[in-house]
Amino acid sequence: MEEKEQTSPPTRLIPCTDWPKYHPWPSVAGLRWLIFNAKHNGFDKVIRRVSKRVLIDEVAFFAFVEKKNKEIGTR
């Protein structure tokens, strides 16, 4: 039998500057702060760099928010 390769569900990659077209929060300035500090805050798992463009993985972004929310709740 032939095995099917397991793949994750498709996710939308949104350019940082286009984020407000899809979601009201965070602002572009807030996203840029998260991107600038990505190595320190774990946001590097959310962004994809293609040439000079920075794309936000929509599913990973909301997973990041939930994770951070749980971390704050346990303090």
Query: What count of residues does the chain have?
Result: 75
Quote the pTM value. 0.82
**pLDDT class of 2 with cuts at 50, 70, 90:** low
Q: What does the pLDDT look like over 41-63, one tens digit per residue?
A: 999 999 999 999 999 999 999 99
Residue whose structure tokens are 């793949």 = 7
Tokens representing 8 are: 């994750």
Residue 55 and residue 13 in contact, taking contact as beta carbons nearer than 8 Å = yes
Whether cis (ω within 30° of 0) applies to the bond prior to 24 is no
Distance separating alpha carbons of residues 2 and 61, to the nearest angstrom: 34
Domain spans of the chain? 13-73
Sheet hosting strand 47-50, strand order edge to edge:
13-15, 53-57, 47-50
